[in-house]
Structure 1
């Protein structure tokens, strides 16, 4: 039994190497979102008492990554507005409605980068345009690069990022409630793994 467990551990460690954070070691080109290893959660203050937290279940993204010149990289991300998920199906329907996300008329929330700024060895600020409920405004993702590796399981190189985005919901006409009921600031947290478009 111990021999079988040792063999299983050996096989697993052979499939995934430790991630490296030096982007120059990664290949340039197009990367696609690994949807099984990505999430978008959001938080908003509720009555000033807590940070109400929920998520979106359907998202996609495309990254054109230039490790030699990270500032020249490009990011496009899309969230399906109707995939909002709070754990309360009735409230989900309310959020999909016209007073909130208006998912029928504006089914997608999108972010397209316009400029990338390197702020540290593994951090950056992705400036871009956020479109939500038909309104487009400048926005910035505060991003951390977790590293990259080659996975034999996926037969592709993989890279990972975390990012934070803060917006004012009133800028996008989201939500109609008396002042003080929920906060104006919405904090979005994104965790994303990308895979090289072509298997290696």
Structure 2
């Protein structure tokens, strides 16, 4: 019962806790890894879409709401954390024909240019390195919220982002095109103030 009351109090307080995009504190932030993830979705024989997730996200962001175009982002995700609803597939995705997690344990994204597209949205153009191959990728980011995390007492800012890559451009061609070449990425990221 106490847990339910506590959860209800947190939900009730959420609007008061959240800052708008313009009032976010400027500074350097680090990824809150347990609350960040990269989801991927791919066509399965053209009959359905199939998804998986990567965790183990790390990285930093330099952010000043007064100068949003100067935002700098550098993040990585551990390829060995890949997970799907199918245990056999999860294991295979770590193999050399897919992520090759033993040889390339991390995928990285480094921002190069930020273009504001709305009051709480921006396009982040950067370079994605996967399996040792670097390609330009643009992520479409949306501000979710910011404020003091009531559990950890740390100022936190959150974003969602989406993007599309072609896996064959990174040397992942197994079963293409039966299993789709285009991979849709959905990223949920929480960043904690470093100072």
TM-score (norm 1): 0.87
Shift of 1:11: 6.3
> Contact 1:16–1:149 at 8 Å: present in 2 too?
no
Q: Aligned partners of 2:157 and 2:116: how far apart in 1? A: 17
TM-score, normalised by the number of residues in structure 2: 0.90
Aligned equivalent of 2:125, options 112, 124, 127:
127
Change (3 A) 1:81 1:9: closer
Native 8 Å contact 1:61 1:78 kept in 2: yes
Aligned to 2:74: 76
Deviation, structure 1 residue 151: 3.1
Tell which deviates more after alignment, 91-100 or 157-166.
91-100
1:195 and 2:192 correspond: yes
Q: d(CA) in 2 for partners of 1:113 and 1:26? A: 20
Instruction: Tell me the SS of whatever aligns to 1:61.
Output: strand
How many angstroms does 1:195 deviate by? 1.2
Structure 1, unmatched stretches of 5+, are: none
State how many pairs are aligned: 194
Q: Secondary structure at the match of 1:86?
A: coil
Please tell me whether Structure 1 or Structure 2 has the larger radius of gyration of its CA atoms: 1
Given that residues 33 and 55 in structure 2 are in contact (C-alpha distance below 8 angstroms), is that contact kept between their aligned partners in structure 1? no
Q: Per-residue displacement from partner, 1:40-68 (whole Å, max 9, x unpaired)?
A: 11000001011111111221121111111
Between 158-167 and 147-156, report the one with greater CA deviation: 147-156
Q: Superposed, which structure 2 residues align to 1:81-100 within 5 Å?
A: 81-100=79-98
Q: Which residue of 2 aligns with 1:183?
A: 180
Is the 2:36–2:55 contact (alpha carbons within 8 Å) kept by the matching residues of 1?
no
- What CA distance in whole angstroms lies between the structure 1 residues aligned with 2:135 and 2:7? 49
Q: CA RMSD in A?
A: 2.4
Q: 1:80 to 1:17 in 2, by over 3 A?
A: same
